[in-house]
Structure 1
Amino acid sequence: MNKKKSVTISDIAKRVGMTTITVSRALSKPDLVKPATLARILEVARELDYVPNAFARGLKRSESLIIGVITASVDNPFYSEMIKAISREAKQHGYTIMLVDTDELEELESKAVDTLLGYRVAGIILSPVSDEPSYQPDYLERLGNGKTPVVLLDRTIHDSPFSRVVLDNYHSGIQAAHYLLRQTPDLKRLLVLTGPAHSRITVERLKGLREVLADHPHIQVEVQAGDYTLMPSYLHTLDYLAEHTAPDAIMGFNQLITLGALRALRMHNIPHDSLTICGIDRLPFADIFGVPIACVAHDASLAGSSAVRLLLDRLEDPYKPRDKVVITGVLENG
């Protein structure tokens, strides 16, 4: 099976009937080109699926020793640990990484994909801005042509053809629920702070939690959906505490969410050890400050290194079937 030939500036120039100089200027310095000319060139570039090559024109894709990494947020400690593991594993195989932080913005994610394709990276490890079933980004077709191997990490894109490394979120919800019941036998009110309501991660963690709590119908479960950052959980917890006494227990769906809840408790002068708290994944350096919060911890380093190995497998055999690695969490400080 022959690989699709990369589209060049010359191909675009032939299609629009202009010189390569004009096309090159339109793509690199659009302000120097007449609007009508620019519009025509950009239209043809999109039709031909042109991706600018940031390396020398003679560079073959098979010679690239760069792995592109796209992450939704380097602020997340779990993601930082995964990225470190990706870099370490890549170096062991002679690769370096090119990291792009999309700051949870869809348009930046799309640009990041184009940038990495332009650099002719060997492959891409992608943690998308959303894992909601409705999220179908415009770059899927560009990545799905099979020329550049892709591995999804933690968050996945619904019904996409890529290999993936995911967490066992359902099992994590089950473990957290059992801990909360053991730690608080008289549990009556539970505040659950989650990521986006339709996120696959949120849905699976809630599913595991509710399955265990189904045998305890007297427990009042208050679910507050936000995102995977600190501020929404902080505000939700503040609002809850303004209207209610402290709950018997709080569960946070990642480290930043748990930290937001702890911050709100502190604002209300409620000691963190006066109620049961359980989170997903470790709070960084919490033990140093004498705050050993129970959590279901996933091995972020294993997740990152596994993503690199899946990518290398695809580079070795481009036609290998889609693969999947599942990282199971372990209860700590519980």
Structure 2
Amino acid sequence: MAGYLLRRIPRVIVVLWGSLTVIFLLQRLGGDPVALMLPDVATEEQQEAVRADLGLDRPLLVQYLLFLGRFARLDFGESYLQQRPVADIVFERLPATLELTGAAVLIATIGGTLLGSFAARMRRRWPDKLVVAGALVGQSVPTFWLGIVSILVFAVTLQWFPSSGSGSLAHLVLPAATLGAFSLANTTRIARASMIESLSADYTQTANAKGLRTARVVGVHALKNSGISILTLTAYMFSHLVGGALVTEVVFAWPGIGRLMVDGVLQRDFPVVQGAVFMVALLVVVTYMLLDIAYTFLDPRLRRT
């Protein structure tokens, strides 16, 4: 296991380097942040002084090398506008994003597995067709549209939940449901297909022939052997939702990394955006490393190889 992890480290470094390089170049194409930091009456000399203080007057290659050197030391720099260490700002927002993403993954995994298992048991009957149709609709609805409609219906009209902000379980319901809707539909379809395959397998037919209860056959034999597919999808969902929470956080004014990234882009606060992207990329690669480790516990054949 230790050797496997050591072989993965160079890949992790390459992924993080590539992510940082792309965001570094894209930000430099987005414009000069000094124009947003100073009032309109600022003179050219004042603007040049600020650029020199931030190191933006240096050649692009020099800025890039200094940028990589800081990140190699885990020094994210300071926010141009807030004048605070970027690491402090990112870690302040990280728990909110993990809370939202974790709730969305929980909704999608549990709900999708239950619905998919139920649809597989009712295959070709009307409950199965209803679940499949609902899953197709769930995969077709844009997240931002679903969020706006959720606010109009459940926050404005019915007044069941707050429309924005955080701090309580009620604040979490709408954004988590909105963020997890697509993944819930996707999980339902994949869980249904995987369960149908497992229910038709020889070991399941043998369990049925022994007279075991249907709930035991589905919950112990079929669901266990569908675990790798569901686990893979869960890890994919988490990595996808961490990066895709941006839209949901903006719609619901959720104080997470996604909203921080959007604010940083609009304000051209380069260090904040770079720190946020680095954290998202790190979460994604760590998630897939943990997934590979989990595979070895679910499938003994992988442990032998």
Decide which structure has greater helix share. Answer: 2
Q: Assess same fold via TM > 0.5.
A: no
TM-score, structure 1 length as denominator? 0.23
Decide which structure has greater strand share. Answer: 1
Q: Which has the higher contact order (CA 8 A, sep 6+)?
A: 2
TM-score, structure 2 length as denominator? 0.25
